[in-house]
Chains A and B, each alone.
Chain A
């Protein structure tokens, strides 16, 4: 298991997947099933077993190459789940290195492979270029972006919390 996340690898893989799928504009989340299918995976929306339905957002079964998504989650969360599990697959994480995706996941304090998968999902669903393009298109400047996190989240088809994580991450990198 890697001890530190390889963010650069995650970013490059997400970008090349977007190129392969010829996706140039948001929302990527509405194409996320097609992207997963193009990599040979199946996506199944399912009712999770009762005892874990409140806790599990998704799980990837390596044997059947299927991403199971909790049907009770909101669509934006489901899109993140698919992108995150797809991340485990394309980043070639071993099945024993990660478990199911918990519903109330902390995107910051998790294992290196989870961080990599989260970063992959962020780059896939909210590519920096598309975010910059949207900011330019809608004349959103500087710190004003904090006022539009919710609207931009809807525009990109992701949760507001995830959009905030992405914006803060990019601010930190700049």
Chain B
């Protein structure tokens, strides 16, 4: 770093007599407002995403609960002999159907509702990376 005193810097600035203040203030305020507005939109989007995810999580939970209850009732009815199926294919079909539904729901939960990539909203993560690359200050 150059060994220049504060006083010398001030003197050189004052001696230069250049006035770029008005234009610079306009740019300064303009850019800060614009970035604030964009960030506000990103954060609102993200909030909507969280609310959407919460709503779907509740539906998935309700659906899983429904599968478990129906399965339990059917198994109970089969066990006590109240329910009987004439065809042998019904029970394997029923078990297979439940397994596929469970895997499908697990896939939805892991990949869409709680994936790491979607936690912050795509825009939020993208903006973080862009900001870091563009503004390597205060390191």
Task: Quote the shortest CB–CB distance from B23 to chain A (angstroms).
Answer: 8
Measured as residues with beta carbon below 8 angstroms from the partner, the interface class of chain A is 35 or more
Task: Quote the shortest CB–CB distance from A64 to chain B (angstroms).
Answer: 8
Instruction: Tell yes or no: A27 within 8 A of B by CB.
Output: yes
Q: A46-B18, A162-B138 are in contact. Are A150 and B25 (CB under 8 A)?
A: no
Q: A26-B36, A30-B32, A144-B120 are in contact. Are A59 and B9 (CB under 8 A)?
A: yes
Question: Which residues of B have CB within 8 Å of A152?
Answer: 39, 43
Give residues of chain B (86-135) contacting chain A, Cβ–Cβ below 8 Å.
Answer: 119-120, 123-125, 127-132, 134-135
Per-position binary interface string of chain A over residues 71-106, scored 1 when its CB falls under 8 Å from any chain B CB and 0 otherwise: 101111111100000000000000100011011111
Partner of B47, one of A59, A139, A150, A159: A139
Task: Quote the shortest CB–CB distance from A14 to chain B (angstroms).
Answer: 18
A134, B36: Cα distance in complex, Å: 13
The count of residues in chain B whose C-beta lies closer than 8 Å to any C-beta of chain A is 50
Q: A144-B120, A155-B43 are in contact. Are A79 and B9 (CB under 8 A)?
A: no
Q: A75-B28, A147-B128 are in contact. Are A59 and B42 (CB under 8 A)?
A: no
A71 engages B131 (CB within 8 Å): no
Partner of A30, one of B1, B5, B33: B33
Partner of B36, one of A27, A52, A159: A27
Main secondary structure of the interface of B (DSSP, over half): helix
B12 engages A49 (CB within 8 Å): yes
A144, B46: Cα distance in complex, Å: 12
Task: Quote the shortest CB–CB distance from A71 to chain B (angstroms).
Answer: 5
Closest to B28 in A: A75
Give residues of chain B (1-21) contacting chain A, Cβ–Cβ below 8 Å.
Answer: 1-2, 4-6, 9-10, 12-14, 16, 18, 20-21
Please report A residues at the B interface, Cβ cutoff 8 Å: 26-27, 29-30, 33, 44-49, 51-52, 55-56, 59, 61, 64, 68, 71, 73-80, 95, 99-100, 102-107, 134, 137-139, 144, 147-157, 159-162, 165
Please report B residues at the A interface, Cβ cutoff 8 Å: 1-2, 4-6, 9-10, 12-14, 16, 18, 20-21, 24-25, 27-29, 31-33, 35-36, 38-40, 42-44, 46-47, 50-51, 119-120, 123-125, 127-132, 134-135, 137-139
Q: List 14 A-B contacts (CB under 8 A).
A: A27-B33, A33-B28, A49-B4, A74-B31, A79-B28, A107-B138, A151-B127, A151-B128, A152-B43, A153-B131, A156-B36, A159-B138, A160-B132, A161-B138
List the 6 closest A-B pairs by CB distance, nearest first: A150-B128, A45-B24, A147-B120, A154-B39, A155-B39, A161-B138
